[in-house]
Amino acid sequence: MFSPSSPPAGLLEKVFQYIDLHQNEFVQTLKEWVAMESDSVQPLPRLRQELFRMMALAADKLRCLGASVDSLPNGQTLPIPPIILAELGNDPKKPTVCFYGHLDVQPARQEDGWLTDPYTLTEVDGKLYGRGATDNKGPVLAWINAVSTFRSLEEDLPVNIKFVIEGMEEAGSVGLEELVRKEKDRFFSSVDYIVISDNLWLSQRKPALTYGTRGNSYFTVEVKCRDQDFHSGTFGGILNEPMADLVALLGNNTILFDSVPLASLGLPASSE
């Protein structure tokens, strides 16, 4: 394992000074990224094209940093955007940190209640508003900017870096699980830490380290009583009504899911 070491004296000051000096450029790039309507939810060819453009732009940006970049395609009727795998550095003496992020967004129209155009990054009272500004284009760019700052200052990065950037997160991360399984023994084999910055700050000044999320589990429940219909008058009370059983089962789902392994109920335990 790698033991944490403090950065060389003065390095962080230099890095922060560089970031302050280049803030406008960073915001300008975010503005360009927000302007791309990379909506993965609505299955429209125009939006899918926009999503492809977004992924290509991010891949180019990573290539400019000197990263080796793979974009892994996935053929479907409405094409699925590639997932970007990029790596910078492979020094065995350094830990390898893998950053995950996504560049697609949920649909947004001004009529939904936006006070500004969702695809035009707009500053209001020192805050930047735009679809995807925080979820998740801004955080992806923040990592890229951090790496490019080290590069520009010609400072050695303290870690090897990998990026996994997808474009279908808002539509259920189509293709990601398959890719992770496929790349388990190659791209991901040297990863020591994964950082997911698809999250929130507690306040404008208080960042948060999220060390666990709940995720979702999908399954189907079917409750059956008998194979044939029975007259309620005579049989009611003797036979349980499946609907009532189902409601009771779902009504207890917190207890059920917290304490009973799904497998023991005969339910598939796969989760994401």
The residue written with tokens 């492809």 in the block is: 52
Find the binding residues for Zn ion in span 186-215 (CB under 5 A).
Answer: 198
- 64: number of Cβ within 10 Å: 11
Question: Which residue stretch of 32-40, 42-50, 136-144, 234-242 sits at the interface with Zn ion (rule: CB under 5 A)?
Answer: 136-144
Chain Cα centroid distance, residue 268: 24
Chain Cα centroid distance, residue 247: 34
Distance CA 55, CA 69 (A): 12
Question: Which residue stretch of 40-48, 128-136, 150-158, 249-257 sits at the interface with Zn ion (rule: CB under 5 A)?
Answer: 128-136
Q: How far is the CB of 132 from Zn ion (least distance, A)?
A: 9
Mind telling me the catalytic residues? 104, 169
Q: How far is the CB of 100 from Zn ion (least distance, A)?
A: 10
Strands 80-88 and 68-74, bridge-based pairing: antiparallel
Smallest CA-to-CA distance from 22 within 212, 209, 151 is with: 151
Question: Which residue stretch of 46-54, 115-123, 132-140, 207-215 sits at the interface with Zn ion (rule: CB under 5 A)?
Answer: 132-140
135 near Zn ion (CB under 5 A): yes
142 near Zn ion (CB under 5 A): no
Q: How far is the CB of 170 from Zn ion (least distance, A)?
A: 7
Distance CA 42, CA 144 (A): 28
Residues near Zn ion (CB under 5 A): 135-136, 198
